Amino acid sequence: MDQRTDVRNIAIIAHVDHGKTTLVDQLLRQSGIFRANEAVAERVMDSNDLERERGITILSKNTAVMYNDVKVNIVDTPGHADFGGEVERILMMVDGVLLLVDAFEGCMPQTRFVLKKALGLGKKPLVVINKVDRPGARPAEVVDEVLDLFIELGADEDQLEFPVVYASGKGGYATVDPGEEGTDMKPLLDAILREIPAPKGDLTGPAQVLFSNIDYDDYVGRIGIGRVERGEVHNGQNVVLCHRDGTTKNVKITKLYQFEGLHRVEVEEARLGDIVAVSGIADLNIGETACAPECVEPLPFVQIDEPTVSMMFMVNNSPFAGREGKFVTSRNLRERLFKEVETNVAMRVEETDSPDTFKVSGRGELHLSILIEQMRRQDFEFQVSAPQVIYKEVNGKKYEPIELLMIEVPDSYVGAVMEKLGSRKAEIVNMGTRDTGMTHLEFKIPARGLMGYRQEFLTDTNGNGIMNNVFDGYEPYKGDIQERAQGSLIAHETGESTGYGLWYAQDRGRLFIGPGVEVYEGMIVGVSPKSDDITVNVCKKKHVTNTRSSSADEALRLTPPTILSLEQSLEFIKNDELVEVTPKNIRMRKTVLSKELRMKKASKNK
């Protein structure tokens, strides 16, 4: 078996916001990738708008740095469990992982999630304790926590002997000793060359490339990103593409690229262990293998976890349909959703009895809401139903997805959090206190019990709590959970909201709109404290009289409206309500707009 010592392939895995992308920034800056006068954005790897706004990585990214004549291919992976499908297949391309852990927060749910995947695939871990310069950092304790996590996840003896590097992505330094302050990232790069195994395999055998990711370019079409598992591949080479359904097809590699810094650079050939990008193969999918024609041997691909949440995506049929969006037909919606599935392997799209409705399943609410937000920015107009969990049947019994929920809250809020979660069928599995006056809680909770809870949690903890969740598995159905207790305030007629109408309506509940907003009959304009829906006339105008009194013309005092974001709207709606999404507005509405028809339907169901 041959070994290539001039290349290393690593993935950076970590919990959300533990500093992966910032650390990669520093490695790129210090390895001389950028010109001295080049203007470089912060978190340069988070390239799309949504990633920058939310401060999270959604798609995995490839980059490479040169250090001591060794090419280090680095893949930055998402930390959110909703994008776990990305993490799993990226691990197929690398030989080792940098496990990044915050020196203050310690091990979090996604740390456990991504590490479990990496250990399961037998990848060599290198632990980096990041943010050591953060106030309250406790690197020594965090190393013990990491060791406990390795033992809990069943790591073998070799994996338990993990090397540790202490770093500050923000400060731009790494050290081997937690007591000293470093000057640059060299100790980390040295550890990568020393600890991460070099690619092994057959250098002279027939070519074999496993594709783990797909990119898309408007000029050249689909670009497959993968790793050369055997032999060499050349620009212009004819290969056999092995599809996942067992069929094969003769194709040609039009262009071959490798990564240098943040750029794809065209190359003539690539060898065993190289991470490459290939264009020219039109119907290439994730998990497929390209082989030399004389030796067609497809490689097995990692099993991606099943989706746990589904939603209905529908053509917009509200009275305001077609006003604000460019793509509004069922054909537009169908094409866009099926295109998403090609690159988003953890998502499923199914057609339904209605040609205007599609069932879209994903790994969680965030996974689906990111797709909705992306489509909205691409000028699509559509409506979506409330998220539903996907149940399974095992031995004739109903099973449901369970999440592992980790919460950090100030001690004074523990009671309120435990009470709310108890009513949502959560079971506490762990509890501990920190010196900082914070309590760490771990629960197992049905996925449906988490829906709509995030907003309540922020209210109950005055915004001081942190909650994270990760899919844990399927367990028997836990029983009914009470839905949202409050009803909706519903617009009585189509028109424009007036200050006078809103002033009367605000006594009935909390409003979501201000004056001068166009509304239609059946649109949700607020939330009522009572359990029943209430119809309000927000377009009411003041009657003009010819008498004048000193008090009548005093200014009407309006309470500022609560404007809901997309995620909050999805969490808010009940099963008989929809969210209408357009490039300019997010509106909530009843599925049946007419009050009379709603009342008839309700009396039938009694």
69 annotated ligand binder: no
Q: Which of 53, 13, 58, 46 is nearest to 364 (CA)?
A: 58
Contact 379, 327 (CB under 8 A): yes
Alpha carbon distance 188, 165 (integer Å)? 6
Per the CB < 8 A criterion, the answer to whether 334 and 356 are in contact is no
Q: Tell me: is residue 460 an annotated ligand-binding position.
A: no
Amino acid at the residue 297: E
Residue whose tokens read 């305030």? 489
Cα 495 from Cα 70, distance rounded (Å): 67
Are 213 and 60 in contact by the 8 Å Cβ rule? The answer is yes
Q: Is 20 annotated as a binding residue?
A: yes
Residue with tokens 């994270």: 468
Beta pairing class for 487-491 and 534-536 = parallel
Please state, in angstroms and rounded to a whole number, the distance separating the CA atoms of residues 128 and 97. 10
Report which secondary-structure segment, H or E, holds 422: helix 414-423
Residue 2's contacts (CB-CB under 8 Å, 6 or more residues apart) are 200, 201, 202, 203, 204, 272
Please check if 57 is assigned to a binding site.
no
Residues 75/61, Cβ–Cβ less than 8 Å: yes
Query: Is residue 255 part of an annotated ligand binding site?
Result: no
Is 17 annotated in some ligand binding site?
yes
- The full length of the chain comes to 606
**β-bridge mates for residue 432, sequence order:** 440
Residues paired with residue 489 on neighbouring β-strands, in sequence order: 526, 534
CA dist 519 and 452 (Å) reads 25
Please check if 133 is assigned to a binding site.
Answer: yes
Residue 344 marked in a binding site: no
Helix intervals (H) in 288-329: none
18 is in an annotated binding site: yes
Task: Return the bridge partners of 422, or none.
Answer: none
> Is 132 marked as binding a ligand?
yes
- Which residue ranges make up the annotated binding site for GTP? 17-22, 130-133
Binding site, by residue number, is 17-22, 130-133
